[in-house]
Each structure stands twice: as C-alpha cells, then as structure tokens.
Amino acid sequence: MSKDNAEKAAERAAQLREEIAGHNHRYHVLDDPLIDDHEFDELMRELTALEESFPRLQSEDSPTRRVGGAPLPGFSTLTHRVPMLGLDNAFQQGELSEFDRRVHRLAGLEQVEYLCELKIDGLAVSLQYEEGRFVRGSTRGDGFTGEEITHNLRTIRQVPLILPTPVTMEVRGEVYIGRDDFEAMNVQRRERGESVFVNPRNAAAGSLRQLDPRITASRPLRIFLYGLGEHRLSVETHAGLLTYLEGLRLPVNPHRRLCGTIDEAWEFCLLWEEKRRELPYEIDGVVIKCNDLVLRGQLGNTARSPRWAVAFKYPPEEKSTLVRDIVVNVGRTGTITPVAVLEPVFISGSTVQRATLHNEDILAEKEVLIGDTVIIRKAGEIIPEIVRVLKEKRTGAERDFRMPERCPSCGAAVERLPGEAARRCFNPSCPAQLVERIVHFASRRAMNIDGLGPAMAELLWKEGLVQDLADLYYLPASSILDLDRKGIGEKKVENLMTAIEESKDRPLHRLLFGFGIRFVGERVAQLLAEHFLTLEKLRESSLEELTAVPEIGPKIAAAALHFFEAPATAKLLHRLKQAGVNFKEPVAVEAAAGEKPLDGKSFVFSGALEQLTRSEAAALVAEQGGRVSAAVSRKTDYLVAGDKPGSKLERARELGVAVIDEHAFRELLEM
C-alpha cells in the first residue's frame, strides 16, 4: 500500500469526520439539517469503508464508534476535582427572596444579575475534553466520585467527540429522554413482553448505567450542557459561558433568561410552570444562578451546595381519590398485573380511572387496600401512579387484596420465576392471552388484518371460532353467516375475510412480529427474517446461530428457541403453512432500470395520516424511488402534513418546502 494512498485516506477521513460532526450538530442540536438521511448515511458508509481499509485510521472519537463496543466487566470510578454539588431547593416565592437577600448580604452589592435556566429532569453527568477530544465521562455519583460511563456517553449523538477548538475542560450537563421517545420506547418494550419504565428520568439513568454500551446506543438519550467543572477558560459571566459552549457545538438549552432582579427570576419561574407541558422533555423547575463568575468564587459553597445558586422546584400535580377495587390484567405474554380501579379524577390534562400497581412487590410496598384514599400523580406527567395511601382516612371497612394463585382467565396455576417480579400464566390456550395475541397478530405493523380489533377478536373467541392464530385462516362460511346474524353486518364480514386472505402474503418479518414472541419486537423480527430468509431455517437454528445475528443477544435467542421448541408452536406453524401463509422474507434486489415517479425526491411526514401509517407511507415512497427523512431541510422536496403536523410544518414554510396533504401525496404516487 503506497504512502500517497494512506495519506490521501487520512486526509479524506479527517474531512469526513469534520463534515459528519457538523451535520450531527445541525440535526441533533440545532434541528436544522442541511442534508437528508440518505446523504448522511452515504458519508458514514464512506468513512466506515476507509477505516476498514486503513485500520490505522480507526479511533475512539470516530463517529462510526457511536454504536457501542463490547460489554464492560463493571464500572470504575472517577474523582471530580471540582465537586459536583447539589442545589438548595426553593418551593415558594418567599424562599427565592430569602436566597436573594443572602446573596446581596454576602456579596455586599446592591445589584446582582441572575441567569435562569430550565431544570431538566434527567441524570447529571460530567464530560472531560482534552485538546478538544472527548476522553472521559462520569455520573455525578455522590458529588465527589462518580461512575465512569465514557463508552455510554459516546453513544449520545449530541455529544461531539471532537470540538472545533482544542480546548481542555470539564463540562457538565443533564442526560434525559424526551416525552415522545419515552412513550415509543415503552410501546416497544410492551411488544417484547418487557417491563416498562416508570418515567423518563429513571429510563435515562438506567440506560446510562448499562454495562453493555450497545444497549445504551439503542436508547434515545439526549443531553443539555449547562456548566463547567475544572477549566482554564477566561469567561466572566455564565451567559457568556453558555454562548461559548454553543460555539463549540455543545448542546445548550435555548430557554434561558438574564434577570436583573429576583422578581424577574420569579416571573420566569411562573412562565415555565404554565408552559412546561409544551416542551418535548420533562423539567421539574428552574435553576437560578448568579451570572457573574467572579462573584460566584467570592460567595463559595457550603458543604453540600453552592451559595450562588438555587433550584426552584415545581410541585408535581397530585390529587386524592378512592380505590374502588383492585383487579388483575392478563397480558398477551401471560403477565399478571394488579391494577387499581379509581374514582375518576382529572389530573395533568386528562381523567384518570386506573393506575397500575406493576407487581405484587410494589403492591405490598405501597400497602394499598381496596377502599383506601390515595394520592395519585402522573409519573413523568404520563403514567398514572399511586404515590401514597392516606392511612389516616381509613375507616376499617377497607379490604386487603391478594394476588391470585390461578389465572383469572383460564384457571391455570400462575408462576413467579426466579429473578422476576411478575407472576405469569404459562397456559398457551389462556383465553385472555389468546384475545390479546389475536389483536397483536392482526395489528397494522404485524399481519395488518383490517377489522380485526379487540371487540371482533373477543367475539371470535367467545363463539368458539378461533382457539389459536391459525384458526383465522380456517373460518367456515357458515360461521361467517352466524356473525352476520349477530349484527356485525355482511359488508364488514366480507371485508374481514378479504383482509385475512390478503394477510397470507405478508413478508416473514411481519409474521414473526405477529407471533408476539417475548423480546421479539419489530426490529428484532426484521433482523431475524433478513438473516435466515425462511421460517424453516429460523426454526432449525441453534442458540449459537441465533446469537451470531447482529444485535441478537442470549435473552432474545433463548426466547425464540423456547417459542419454536414448544409443541403448540409446531402445530400452529403446520396449520399456517397448510393455509398458505407466507413463510419467506423477500430478498432485496436492485431496482429495475427506468425512472420511477419519485426518483430522487425527499419526503418528510408530520402529523397523523388518515389512511396510512407512517411506515406504510414510507414504504410506498421507497417503492417509487423516493426517500424519507426524519427532519425538514433545504434538501426536502415535500412535507406531507397530516392531522396536527407540529413544528415541522413551520420549518417547511420557512425553507419554502412544498407542503401537501395525504390526498395530494397519494396522487403523486399514482403519477
């Protein structure tokens, strides 16, 4: 290999890293991309190819390393040379005024400026840069030592691995998960039969403390940076510092205000108490800091907190209500979950009538009785939870609740496996699980059987027409007539039968996802289908062959083996095959020659479409030669706006991007 080639490769790799870092900053921090996803992927592929061809070019700060490395044996600790102290809290205006009086007294000044910032509800971290390169990162820990989580922080795409200036400093911030990302993540976990996260903060903290960085890389973590630890910078104000950090491509929260008095700071607190639900992430208050950094040094710290800052905390909205009953739900994976049935109460924007108690350990810990008066709130402003029982309001008429020893749906004995918090029903013929499995199997992202929702699934089971998933493909004509006579409607029945017949041609990954195998969500189903291509090959695979598939770990592999080794599965698959259900994944082929209607066109979708899901619309664009991006940029050709399109619509108008509705989009497809 010639020296010239190696030098050219090194120059091109450096150029690509700088270009990719810039695009990452515009996409993940500024929300103002200049190129679409396809063009970004091309840059990443070129850099990956260079690093593979020239191994000496590989480095830990390359953007190709953000997917996470091998699992770590454990976390080491890092000492904070400048302690990461906590903040004193204020809950009322009077406490802010007292903080202000104390600052003025200690500083001996008549005028003090404050910089107010939103208090992100996440996990505090420290990032250390040496000569502009990210070298170490840790959690806050006890304020003096924290866990080293460098590999996990590298996976957060907002964190620049190389700064545009070779500065050495320690920068501090908060890692969090946005509301929409949190909701989507929990949906996926439910589909895989995994326990859901209680709130975004816990999810972020748990994600950062994974010993396997690949797991962290799969979580939608984001970060805001707000201050410094050890450094030698010559900045004089906190406002100037934040502007400086932004110039280094570090993500800084834009919602901040410089205030000349504590009354102005109080107004900022009140403003965001009203507006906080408009934010795409959780905040639990406002942090008020002296803006003058020299003054901060003069004020100093107490043993546990700085004298120059205070956190004004918003109280979570809490209300009392009555526990009418405690019931259990049986999920499609057999999980038995206790649920409190509540006297309806309006809280944080909606009426709450039920609150999950998660499992029997939490039920026992909270000591909830039927008839108790309880305080509830929405964890992360999303999930209703019981905070505590008002035991002083007990009358003696309250009743204890015990988890059932048998499944309330089928009567089979329930088990609690070692190491698990939940009890489960393992009866494959359990009606409650069956109805849930039918609904999941028929869902849009699985076999997409239109018209087969919860009510229809329950009716088919009650009438004895469907006892397993394969029965859907053997419904006799006489049974259809019976359904018609029960008021379902002839046209609805015909449409259902047509949808069932059409579902036979779905690709293998949709069938795998539809089975509802524990831990096998959409992404895993796609990976397995693309790797093995046929269901027969997948069924015959060993644990070693399964774990050899990228992103498939031992837990997922064991769950898949358990499913395929079950006698009931063999019977199910035989009947599905006999019915003509497709067991193959189409092999990706190059597009046929010739121009397609949407060749080279870039689309962004925003808001809910009436007739298509996002994934269906994206697939149609791809079939016609177009591309779909996540964000609007100058390269976007069309924004398809559905119901409640959000900020992307405003961005499209700013950039002069063509905005079309679903009807016009479908017309484009038919050109």
Domain ranges of the chain: 3-65, 89-313, 320-415, 431-578, 602-669
Pick the CATH number of 431-578 from 1.20.1250.20, 1.10.10.10, 1.10.150.20, 3.40.190.10: 1.10.150.20
In which order are the strands placed within the sheet that holds 169-177?
133-139, 123-130, 169-177, 221-231
- Residue 485 near residue 589, CB atoms below 8 Å: no
Give Cα 643 distance to the centre of its chain: 22
Q: What pLDDT is recorded for position 478?
A: 62
- Domain 3-65, CATH 1.10.287.610 — does that match? yes
**What does the pLDDT read at residue 666?**
77
CA distance 614 to 606: 9
Q: How far is CA 223 from the centre of its chain?
A: 14
| Domain 431-578 in the same topology as domain 89-313 | no
Fold of 320-415: OB fold (Dihydrolipoamide Acetyltransferase, E2P) (2.40.50)
**pLDDT at residue 53, as a whole number:** 84
Instruction: Compute how many other C-beta atoms are within 10 angstroms of the C-beta atom of residue 490.
Output: 12
pLDDT at 267: 96
pLDDT tens-digit readout, 621-643: 877 778 877 677 878 889 888 87
pLDDT single digits (tens) 168-183: 999 999 999 998 888 8
What is the structure's pLDDT at 590? Answer: 43
Residue 379, amino acid: A
CB hemisphere CA count around 627 (13 angstroms) = 17
- Phi/psi of residue 227, each to 5°? -170, -175
Task: Please give the pLDDT value at position 174.
Answer: 96
* Residues catalogued as catalytic: 119
Which pLDDT belongs to residue 1? 46
pLDDT at 193: 67
Return the CA Rg of the chain: 28
Q: What are the residues facing 375 on neighbouring strands?
A: 320, 388
Amino acid 417: pLDDT: 74
Q: What is the pLDDT of residue 540?
A: 93
Half-sphere exposure of 391 (CA within 13 A, CB side): 4
Token pair for residue 403?
């988890």
CA distance 204 to 221: 7
The pLDDT of residue 229: 92
- Interatomic CA distance for residues 39 and 44, integer angstroms: 9
Nearest to 115 by CA among 295, 303, 316: 295
- In the prediction, which pLDDT does 371 show? 96
pLDDT digits (tens, 9 = 90+) for 483-508: 655 556 677 778 888 899 999 999 99
The torsion defined by the Cα of 484, 486, 492 and 493, in degrees rounded to 10, comes to: -50
* Tokens at 133, concatenated: 């390169």
CATH T-level assignment (fold) for domain 602-669: Rossmann fold (3.40.50)
| Topology annotation, domain 89-313 | D-amino Acid Aminotransferase; Chain A, domain 1 (3.30.470)
Asked whether 192 and 513 are in contact (CB, 8 A), the reply is: no
How many CB atoms neighbour CB 209 within 10 A? 14
SS3 per-residue string spanning 149-202: CHHHHHCCCCCCCECCCCCCEEEEEEEEECHHHHHHHHHHHHHCCCCCCCCHHH
Sequence-distant (≥ 6) Cβ neighbours of residue 254 within 8 angstroms: none
Q: Give phi and psi for 137, each to the nearest 5.
A: -150, 155
The predicted pLDDT at position 117 comes to 97
Instruction: Please return the burial class of 485, using the count of CB atoms within 10 Å of its CB with bins 0-12, 13-18 and 19+.
Output: exposed
Q: What are the residue ranges in the chain where pLDDT is below 50?
A: 1, 589-593
Beta bridge partner(s), residue 290: 114
Quote the pLDDT of residue 380. 52
